[in-house]
Amino acid sequence: MIDRRRALLAGGAALAGAMIGVPARAAASVGTLRVASLRFGSLSWVLETIKAEGIAEDLGLNLEILDVATNQAGPVALLSGEADVIISDWMWALRQRGLGEKLKFAPYSAALGAVMVPKDSEIAKLADLEGKKLGVAGGPIDKSWLLLRAYTRNVLGKDLDQMVRPAFGAAPLLTEEIRGGRIDAVLNFWTYSARLEGGGYHKVLGMEEVLKELGVDPVPSLVGFVWRQETEAEKGPAVAAFLDAVAKANEVLRTSDSAWERIRDLVKPKDDAELAAIKAYYRSGIPEPWTPAETRAAQKLTEVLREAGGGALLGEGTAFDPKLFHAAGS
């Protein structure tokens, strides 16, 4: 069963929703899990698929969905006890774990962003960005920006920060900026890169290539589900059932085009070409099971980010902790 409820998160972050009742099927109950979800984020696509396919009912799982208004509201919901599970990157979870929050992480998406340019752009490779205005989703310590700077130092012997005129901003705003011709290129998150690709924009460089050049291989999922260890102790069967439900929903989204038509209103593509690009990006990012190889790659990435950004991103003195990763067997 999936419920949505209306709540107000302490600190002013809004969570909105309405009760949605689904007749329960005959399955032994594993309990209730409260999951925070950005209303039109990609997790909402998965949750709608879980609902439409009756997956939670088949597993005996009751999901209470908290629709959060911003990406920042999810971590607040988790740390304040409003949510049991959120979507975040494991770098944030690692930093919190270093501060004493015993968090766990399981992969959700391996989809990565890219540097995108208009189809008629003269920019064909990273070196062509010299002197250009580059939109960067996030801020100066965004992990993709730090990694791209490290990549250019390795490949070009230059710091990208000195090569280009960076323009930091929110992903939707930068998408409109490049569409309006006010910036020359944009380093954006995967959903917005996919939307641009669907509109004929070209990929100059994907972040997967960046990571591999920096010695991070295999490329681990950066974004995943995060919860407290105490939640797993109290609601272990529900957590396991939720991860199973997500895997089953992802298999539907991997194999069924009609399932994407069903969630079209949540995806909000401009046209069929944009939907096709989003679908392709999403499917390519459905993660394989997390193994010790991914844990080693995550450790390598931690080292790269610490070298690139110092303590600004990960926090001063934050040590890599393999116990963060749920599928690592610890």
pLDDT digits (tens, 9 = 90+) for 229-241: 999 999 999 999 9
Q: What is the pLDDT of residue 1?
A: 64
Question: Which amino acid makes up residue 138?
Answer: G
Residue 27 pLDDT: 77
The pLDDT, as a whole number, for residue 26 is 52
Q: What is the dihedral of CA 272, 278, 281, 284, to 10 degrees?
A: -80
2-110+221-293+310-328 to CATH, choices 3.40.50.1240, 3.30.1360.120, 3.40.50.2300, 3.40.190.10: 3.40.190.10
Looking at residue 205, its pLDDT comes to 98
Q: Answer for the pair 239, 231: CB distance below 8 angstroms, yes or no.
A: yes
**What is the SS3 assignment for 184-226?**
CEEEECHHHHHHHHHCCCEEEEEHHHHHHHCCCCCCCCCEEEE
Give residue limits of the domains in the chain.
2-110+221-293+310-328, 114-213
Residue numbers in the chain where pLDDT is lower than 50: 6-25, 328-330
Q: Indicate the SS3 state at residue 69.
A: coil
Would you say the CATH fold of 114-213 matches that of 2-110+221-293+310-328? yes
Fold entry, domain 114-213:
D-Maltodextrin-Binding Protein; domain 2 (3.40.190)
Name residue 213's amino acid: E
What's the CA gap between 138 and 118, in Å, rounded? 21
pLDDT at position 2 = 64
